[in-house]
Amino acid sequence: MKTLRNFVLTLFTFILVSAAVNAQDAFISAADFMKISKDKNTVVVCVDKQKNYDVTHITGSIHLDQKSLMKSGEPDGILKSPAELAKILGGKGISEKNLIILYDDGKNKYAGRVYWVLKYLGAANVKILTKDLAQWRKVRVAITKTPTTLKAVTFTPKVDNTVFADFDYVKSNVDNAGVVLLDVRAANEFNGTSTDPVSKGHIKGAKNMEWNSVTQDNGDLKSNEELTKLFESLGITKNKTVVLYCGTSVRAGIVYVALKNLGYQNVKVYDGAYNEWVAKGGAVVK
């Protein structure tokens, strides 16, 4: 009888986890999060700034600084090698086999960035937790100041190069009608009038749409209808390959999420981004 009861409980837990994991998009609500937060395969990762994590964070969540995933030196923002990234993630207690739930300050700039990095490394189950504090309170998401550390595990990368673009790829496709370069920086960075950060313009042929155009004020994605209209107004259709970039491609992550949620199959992030493009002498337009 005890064996049967345990089987039923295991099956019920599996159904709850599957329902949340297979939700319509990359986001997970606070209510669905509470159903799976205690599952042993769930790892909750705060990718907000360290100072904010130190003030308060979800009980049991670990901290990951997205900047720790970047190489040191210039140009700024380039990812470390997959092997180095895997070592960092594994050292934090994150495996590619986990259900990985990310959250940041609610703007989803950092969560989107780490989401893309994890997808590049082959993690199958990654979600972004909607940071709606009213909903957090309603379902009693527990928060604390006490940091959490997890036992180190092995993260085995299964690199997906279909979501990754480098300098050579971008250079060889700037005149390809089947490839859309989308610069997700602010308009003044795109047109070369920004002084902070200093900008020399944009990659030849790129279109411009600021990264937060895809989100609502609370950080959630806009509706599918709004996003479809937004992308198609820029000539970004599903039959084309979309290459995203900003200064370091941190801001490109949430736009990657939005496009993939809409069913775009061919979406890449230019890892080196505009910093590398300028450093290597790529053609720019003001």
Q: Which domain holds residue 29?
A: 24-144
- HEC string of 237-279 equals CCCCEEEEECCCCCCHHHHHHHHHHCCCCCEEEECCHHHHHHH
Tell me whether strands 202-203 and 284-285 are parallel, antiparallel or unpaired.
antiparallel
Domain boundary among the residues 144, 177, 195 is at 144
169 is a domain residue:
yes
Q: List the CATH number of the domain containing 255.
A: 3.40.250.10
- Does 281 share its domain with 197? yes
222 is a domain residue:
yes
Summarised one tens digit per residue, pLDDT across range 171-188 is: 999 999 999 999 999 999
Domains in the chain: how many in total? 2
Contacts of 3 (CB under 8 A, 6+ apart): none
The stretch 192-199 carries a mean pLDDT of: 89
Domain boundary among the residues 109, 144, 179 is at 144
Summarised one tens digit per residue, pLDDT across range 47-67 is: 999 999 999 999 999 999 999
Q: What is the pLDDT of residue 5?
A: 53
Maximal C-alpha separation, the chain:
73
Domain boundary among the residues 144, 178, 204 is at 144
Amino acid at the residue 4 = L
- N residues, the chain: 286
pLDDT band at 233 (very low <50, low <70, confident <90, very high): very high
Three-state DSSP state, 162: helix
- Per-residue pLDDT at 8 exceeds 60: no
Summarised one tens digit per residue, pLDDT across range 97-112 is: 999 999 999 999 999 9
Summarised one tens digit per residue, pLDDT across range 15-29 is: 444 433 333 489 999
- Does 116 share its domain with 179? no
16 is a domain residue:
no
Q: Give me the percent of the chain exceeding a pLDDT of 90.
A: 85
201 is a domain residue:
yes
- Does 277 share its domain with 165? yes
- Does 59 share its domain with 168? no
